[in-house]
């Protein structure tokens, strides 16, 4: 971590939104895990919270931060610093701050009330979602100079992956249920980072009834062990591809 990412990292940690976000995660994780005697049910409840809250906060906060830092970015670019280095350090500062907030809010309750393997899988998913939606937020911010348009696009991205995509996938399954489309459905299920994160944890828990139709198809096609490995690879691509796309646009953008 160099000076730029370190400055952004500590600047974000002082933000009231991040402090409230950390406290909210801490309260939700303690109350969800502490009040339920069955750790599997408690973990599933916390997983649903994480799958909604972490992407939403990450994508909206990151988008707003990039827009509010426009003058700071222009100041950095006036120095003999490569654009790629500036953009990478903004991403690192944002992502590391969001990951730290998530870890502070969730790690202790998860490891106290959940099994080691399950807790570790939930933490991995929280980290990946923070990275993915920070990268998507930077892509949304670089697409438009208008702050309202960028934030609206970021909210739509979250809404699409959190709600709309699963609905489309479910309709397709019912429409083409008489055809051998298991491989296609497994591939489509892997495209959604939020849905794939849910499947990753549920494969670890091996709760077949909770996988849903998309998750069941994914498990039947790839299996539990291989499916988890594929999930990690795809989630890593979800971090790299949006960020690299935003980097290309940032390098060509006339500021």
The percent of residues in the chain predicted with pLDDT above 90, rounded, is 36
Closest CA to 112 of 206, 1, 36: 36
**CA angle (167, 221, 223) in 5-degree steps:** 110
Domain boundaries, the chain: 3-252
Give pLDDT, residue 87: 92
Cα 6 to Cα 1, 9, 90, 188, distances in angstroms: 6, 5, 9, 38
Question: 154: which 2 tokens?
Answer: 């970021």
Give pLDDT, residue 48: 85
- For helices 83-113 and 224-252, the axis angle rounded to 10 degrees is 150
Burial profile 110-147: b = 16 or more Cβ within 10 angstroms, e = fewer: beebbeeebbebbbbbbbbbbbbbbbbbbbbbbbeeee
The 10s digit of each residue's pLDDT in 97-153 is 999 999 998 888 887 777 777 778 889 999 999 999 999 999 999 988 888 899 999
The answer to whether the beta carbons of residues 134 and 62 sit under 8 Å apart is yes
The 10s digit of each residue's pLDDT in 157-166 is 999 998 888 7
Residues of the chain with pLDDT under 70: 1, 36-37, 177, 179-183, 186, 205-227, 254-255
Closest CA to 107 of 132, 88, 124: 124
Give pLDDT, residue 144: 84
Give pLDDT, residue 91: 94
Give pLDDT, residue 29: 87
Q: pTM to 2 decimals? A: 0.89
Question: 254: which 2 tokens?
Answer: 């006339």
């Amino acid at each position: 971590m160099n000076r730029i990412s370190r400055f952004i990292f500590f600047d974000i940690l002082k933000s009231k939104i991040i402090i409230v976000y950390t406290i909210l995660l801490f309260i939700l994780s303690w109350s969800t895990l502490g009040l339920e005697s069955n750790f599997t049910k408690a973990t599933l409840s916390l997983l649903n919270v994480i799958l909604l809250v972490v992407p939403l906060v990450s994508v909206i906060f990151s988008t707003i931060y990039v827009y509010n830092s426009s003058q700071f970015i222009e100041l950095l670019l006036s120095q003999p610093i490569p654009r790629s280095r500036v953009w990478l350090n903004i991403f690192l500062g944002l992502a590391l701050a969001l990951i730290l907030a998530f870890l502070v809010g969730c790690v202790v309750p998860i490891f106290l009330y959940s099994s080691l393997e399950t807790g570790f899988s939930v933490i991995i998913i929280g980290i990946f979602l923070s990275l993915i939606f920070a990268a998507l937020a930077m892509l949304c911010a670089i697409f438009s100079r208008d702050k309202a348009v960028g934030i609206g696009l970021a909210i739509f991205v979250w809404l699409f992956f959190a709600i709309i995509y699963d609905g489309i996938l479910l309709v397709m399954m019912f429409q083409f249920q008489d055809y051998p489309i298991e491989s296609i459905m497994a591939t489509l299920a892997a495209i959604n980072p939020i849905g794939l994160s849910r499947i990753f944890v549920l494969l670890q828990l091996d709760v077949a009834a909770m996988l849903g139709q998309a998750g069941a198809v994914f498990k039947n096609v790839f299996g539990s062990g291989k499916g988890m490995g594929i999930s990690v690879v795809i989630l890593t691509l979800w971090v790299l591809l949006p960020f690299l796309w935003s980097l290309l646009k940032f390098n060509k953008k006339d500021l």
